[in-house]
Structure formats: C-alpha cells, structure tokens
Amino acid sequence: MKKTSRNNRGKVITNNKNIWIIIFILMVIFGLIYSQIYDQKLDMNGDNFNYLLLSKNILGGHGYSTFSVDGTYKPAGWFPPGYPYILATTQFFLGDSVNGLKKLNGLFFLLSIILFFFITKKFSKNHLFAFSISVLLALNSGLLRFSTIVMSEIPYLFFVLLTIYSLLKVDEQSEETPFWKSRWFYLTAISSIISFYIRGFGITLILALTLHWLISKKWKLSIAYLLTNFLLYLPYFIRNKVYGIKGRYAKMIFVDNPWRPESGGINTVSEFWDKIITNTNDIIVYGFPKVIFPSIDVSEPTFILTLFGIAIICLTLVGIWSVKKYRYFLGSFLIFNVGILLLWHTGNGVRYVWPLVGFIIFASFYGLYIIISKLLNQKNQQLTIKYFALGFLLLGFFHIPSIKKIKSQAQMELHPAYENYFKIAKTLKKEGKDYLVVCRKPALFSYYSHSRTSGYRYTLDDKELIQQLIDINADYVVLERLGYSSTPRYLIPAIQRNHNLFKSVIHLKEPDTYLLWFDKEKAKNQ
C-alpha cells in the first residue's frame, strides 16, 4: 500500500513538472512571436479609437459617455462598457500609454493560451494533445494581430476561458460542498458577466452554462448562477432605461447593408433566407477554415474549400459530442453564437468568429483524433496520441505565411492618406478652438484633433447631406482619400453639387486631402 501511494505521489509530481514545462514552452513561443509582430502604431479601424475616447471620458470624470456634437457629454450605449473601463483602470494606474494598453491585450492573450491548455487538457484528458493545439492557438495570426491592437476580442476571449476554467473547478468540487461557499462559483459568475459587459456575445456563455447545470440537475446552482448574473447586470440595465438607450443588435436583424442605407431593409422571407445563406457561407463554411488557418484565401470560394469547410463543421460536431460531460455546454455555446451571427447583417466576413477560434480548433482537432483513433485502433494497437500531437504541431508551419504578413504590417509606415488626415487634425488641435468637423472615421480625427466630430449622412441625396451639416452646425468638412467607398459615393458628389458652400482651407497632396470650411449662413439661405 505504501509503495503504491509513493508511486501515485511520484506520478503527480512528474505530471506537475511536465505541466510547468509545457507552460514555460508556451510562454517562450508566445514571447518570441509577439516580440516580432508587435505593432507600435495604432490600428486604423474606428472602433479602437472609440474605445480610447470612451476611456478618456471615464478618466476625465464624465462617466461612460461620448463627447457629442453639441459639446456636451452624453451617456454612451453603442459599445458595452466593459472594455472601456478596463482601459481606463489600466491608464489610471499605469499612465496614459497606448503601448501599455496594447501590451495589456498581449498579456490577456498569453493568459488565454495558458487557460486554453488547462481546459483542453481536462476535456481531452491528455497533456500532449492540449499542448499541441495550444501551440496552434499561440501561432494564430488573427488572434496575434488582435493582441497588438486596442480592441475587445482578446479580453473577451480571456474572460470566456476564465469562466470555463472556473466552471470545471466548480464541477470538480464535492456535491456535499454548498456552492455559495465556493470561490470558483463566484469567479464563474463574475468572469461571465464581465465577458458580457465586454461584448454582447457573452450572453451565449451565460445561457450555455445555465443550461449545462440544468441538464446536470443542479437546479439550485443553475438558478443561483443565472440570478447572480442578472443582479450584476441590473444596474447597467436600469441606467440604460433611465437614459432611453436601446440596444442596437435587434435593429440589425432586418438591415441589409448598414453601409448602404439606400439598399433598404429586409422585408420578405426570401430576402431573410438569402441573408442566412450568405452568412452561413461567410461565417461557417468558409469562416471556420479561415480562423483555423488564417493563410487560407476565402475571397474566391472554390469547391475544394467548400468541402474543407463542411469537413471542419463535421469534425467540430464530432469533437463536441465526444466531450461527454460537457457536450451540451459546448454544443449550446456554439449554437447560440452561430445563431446570433446568422441573424446579423451580411458583409462582416469572419470578424466576429475570431473569439471562437480556440473553441473551433479544439473541437475540430479532437473530432479528427476521435475518428482516426477509432478507425485505426483496431488494426494498429500502437497508435498513440503522440503521433497526433506531432502531426498537429506540424500544422503550425501553415501559420508561417500569415505571421510574416502581420510582421510586415507591423513594420510598415503609416499610409500617406492617414498621415495627411492626421496632419490636418493636429493642425486644428494647435489652434485650440472649438470646431465641429464632419469627416469619415470621426473617432480617429477627434482623437488627434480634440475637436467635436461627426460622420456625414450616408445618402445619395446631396440636399439631405447638406441639411445635416446645417442641422449640426458644422464648421469644417474633411475630404480624404482613406479608401472607403462612402466618400466618393456620398460626400464628394454632395460637395461637387454645392461647391459654392465650401472653401479650401488646407490642401495636402499625395494623396489630395482637404480641410473645407462650410459656409453655414449661405447654406441656410440657399
């Protein structure tokens, strides 16, 4: 008995050593790659500038608010408040450093990789399998890119994984231990509501986890968990009701293309069905392979790519079903996410699939392992997980082209169109006057100019666009060459047809970028 006990103790010590070695290797892999692909520039998408501005307003004592066109701070509601508050908290303690915020996302990604390893080890019951797919997650160029920019995808991923890890710890506890005495229960509830506060998709995690405990017949636990999340969300819900802020997600279900308002909404069953089919292809059939192997080109889908996508879907379903105790949790989590994505408007590609990439990698590769091991195990008893782990690690070479691409992107200089755009913004900042500037990507311009900004109305009717400028009392209009189709489609025609209302104040070349003064009085009398 003593000898057996010693042997078991020795195995535990060895396993713990192996785990720490694996974590160290994952940290080294991440560190080496992250140092190569880290981009000190701010990403030029508008959302990360909006997050920075929201954080600035919180630190300025204005609460969760936006600086509106009339010069007042109004309660914000377009983005969930979680990530702006994470940014504000970080800046409060570490100072106003954008690079600090970007590296915070890098830390979130590293911690996500480590959590992913522990979770997949629990699901697969194998260190090597969990290690190999954790390496693939660390090499994923899509997530690596998000980990270097000020966006919410990586923090959301971290809190989702922290919730799942905490869930596993709750389920490991003895049934005799009351859940309200478990710190893991509270961590599960807090991390899941944080994920919801970061991205609305967090509701899928809360619902899937509640369903998991209901199916497990842990009635009190599931009700307590759901009630805790409700109570933690209630203050924000009341706040939005008081200010009359409504969610934007429901509106998007019947929107065809938000960047083309003139295309109208979705009004018939056939139009709605066409949207579902388009999203199914973009998000699932071609989207799942794209997020697993970012180097794949899905811009021109082929028959082979379609078959590959369908195969990934089938493997994912097999993998989910094979995690017996958690098959309904993982399955409902996938269904809820996919359901929302299918109802969303078209044109997003795989943008909203990236936070699911770890889930898809695990489920599809585990499904592949289950199928092949069952087919070959009867003929070859020497088949082991080691060969699978090695094979999965070799797939990491497919990530090299996409990693090189984001490394090159990080080393690039800012595009001249953006340089001109920001030069104009900084010129207005130096003047120190209270201007209202209408432009494409108003958050970017506001960040560098400290001016009030507004986008222009997406309308083919030039009179309607000019009326908007009058209504908001615009001072300037920026005519840029950032590459967005809305500028030549809406703004340029309106300026050309009403050229007498605009006067060039600044003209920068290569490419031509203008700051135009808008004659409000003449426009009113025209």
* DSSP structure string for 12-64: HHHHHHHHHHHHHHHHHHHHHHHHHH---SPPSSHHHHHHHHHHHHHHTT--S
Q: Is the pLDDT of residue 467 over 60?
A: yes
Q: Is the pLDDT of residue 372 over 90?
A: no
Q: How confident is the model at residue 351 (pLDDT cuts 50, 70, 90)?
A: confident
Q: Is the pLDDT of residue 385 over 70?
A: no
| Predicted local confidence at residue 1, as pLDDT | 46
Q: Is the pLDDT of residue 107 over 80?
A: yes
User: Which residue bears the tokens 């915020």?
Assistant: 101
Contact 170, 185 (CB under 8 A): yes
In terms of Cα–Cα distance, which of 352, 396, 380, 327 is closest to 133?
Answer: 396
> DSSP class of residue 66?
E
Name every residue whose Cβ is closer than 8 Å to that of residue 443 and which is 6 or more positions away in sequence: 46, 47, 49, 50, 53, 453
In terms of Cα–Cα distance, which of 278, 166, 175 is closest to 217?
Answer: 175
Q: Is the pLDDT of residue 382 over 50?
A: no
391-428, pLDDT tens digit by residue?
888 888 888 999 999 999 888 888 999 999 999 999 99
Q: How confident is the model at residue 363 (pLDDT cuts 50, 70, 90)?
A: very high
Is the pLDDT higher at 435 or at 1?
435
Q: Is the pLDDT of residue 264 over 70?
A: no
DSSP assignment string, 409-459 = HHHSPPPHHHHHHHHHHHHHHHHT---EEE-SSHHHHHHHH--EEEPPP--
Average pLDDT across the chain, whole number = 88
CB atoms within 10 A of CB 514: 19
Query: Quick one: what percent of the chain has pLDDT higher than 90?
Result: 56
Contact 294, 142 (CB under 8 A): yes
Alpha helices in 38-152 (DSSP H): 46-59, 82-94, 98-124, 127-138, 141-146
Give the separation between CA 232 and CA 199, rounded to whole angstroms.
Answer: 15
Phi/psi of residue 505, each to 5°?
-105, -40
Angle, CA 158 vertex, CA 156 and CA 162 arms, to 5°: 120
Contact 201, 156 (CB under 8 A): yes
Q: For residue 104, what are its two tokens? A: 């915070």
Q: Is the dihedral of CA 387, 392, 396, 397 positive or negative?
A: positive
Q: Is the pLDDT of residue 379 over 70?
A: no
* Torsion angle defined by CA atoms of residues 19, 20, 24 and 29, in that order, rounded to the nearest 10 degrees: 10
| Predicted local confidence at residue 511, as pLDDT | 92
Q: For residue 339, what are its two tokens? A: 């359901």
Q: For residue 71, what are its two tokens? A: 């010069």
Least confident of 58-72, 254-268, 464-478: 254-268
| Predicted local confidence at residue 432, as pLDDT | 80
| Predicted local confidence at residue 77, as pLDDT | 82
| Predicted local confidence at residue 224, as pLDDT | 94
Least confident of 132-146, 238-252, 277-291: 238-252
Give the H/E segment covering residue 506. Answer: strand 502-508
Q: What is the mean pLDDT of residues 126-136?
A: 91
Q: Is the pLDDT of residue 436 over 50?
A: yes
Is the pLDDT higher at 49 or at 320?
320
Q: How confident is the model at residue 125 (pLDDT cuts 50, 70, 90)?
A: confident
Give the separation between CA 249 and CA 370, rounded to whole angstroms.
Answer: 38
Q: For residue 23, what are its two tokens? A: 């974590």
Q: What share of the chain is helix, strand, coil (3-state, %, to 5)?
A: 70, 5, 25
Q: Is the pLDDT of residue 306 over 70?
A: yes
| Predicted local confidence at residue 381, as pLDDT | 40
Query: What is the total residue count of the chain?
Result: 526
3-state secondary structure of 477: strand
User: Which residue bears the tokens 């209901």?
Assistant: 214
Q: Is the pLDDT of residue 247 over 80?
A: no
Q: What is the mean pLDDT of residues 335-346?
A: 86
Q: 503-512 burial string, b = 16+ CB within 10 Å, else e?
A: eeebebeeee
Contact 135, 141 (CB under 8 A): no
This prediction's pTM:
0.90
Q: Is the pLDDT of residue 4 over 70?
A: no
Written as one letter, the residue type at 498 is N
Phi-psi region of 174 (alpha: psi -120 to 50; beta: other; left: phi over 0): beta
136-185, pLDDT tens digit by residue?
999 999 999 999 999 999 999 999 999 999 999 999 887 777 878 889 99
Give the separation between CA 464 and CA 110, rounded to whole angstroms.
Answer: 49
Q: Is the pLDDT of residue 5 over 70?
A: no
36-64, pLDDT tens digit by residue?
999 888 888 878 888 999 999 999 898 89
Longest dimension (CA), the chain: 99
